[in-house]
Structure 1
Amino acid sequence: MNRRNLFIAICTITLGIAALAMSQTYFEDNFDDPKESEKKWVALFGEWEFKADEYHQLQNTPNCMSVVADEFWDDEWNDYTFEMRGSKTSGAEGFLIMFRCQGLMQARGQALEDPPPRMEKLKPSLEYWWNLGGWGNSRSQVESWGGKAGANSAHTIDEKDWYNIKIVNTSDSYTVILNDEEVAEVADDTEGGVGRIGLATWSTVAKYDDVVVYGPDGPSLPVDARSKLATTWAHLKSVK
Structure 2
Amino acid sequence: MHQLSKKAAVLGLTCGLSACASIVGGTHQHLSVETRSTNQDIVGADCTVTNERGEQHVTTPGIVTVHRGSGPLDVRCVKDGAPIGGQSFASTVRPMEWGNILFGGLIGLVVDFSDDAAHHYPDVLKVMTTYSGQQTSNTYYVPSAAAPGAVSAPVLMGPSQSDGLASLDNRISPATFNAAQNVAARQQCDRAIHVVMADGQRALFESTCPASTTLQIECKAAECVPVHTAT
Shared fold (TM-score, shorter chain, > 0.5): no
> Which one has the bigger strand percentage?
1
TM-score (normalised: structure 2): 0.30
The structure whose RCO (Cα within 8 Å, separation 6+) is larger is 1
TM-score (normalised: structure 1): 0.29
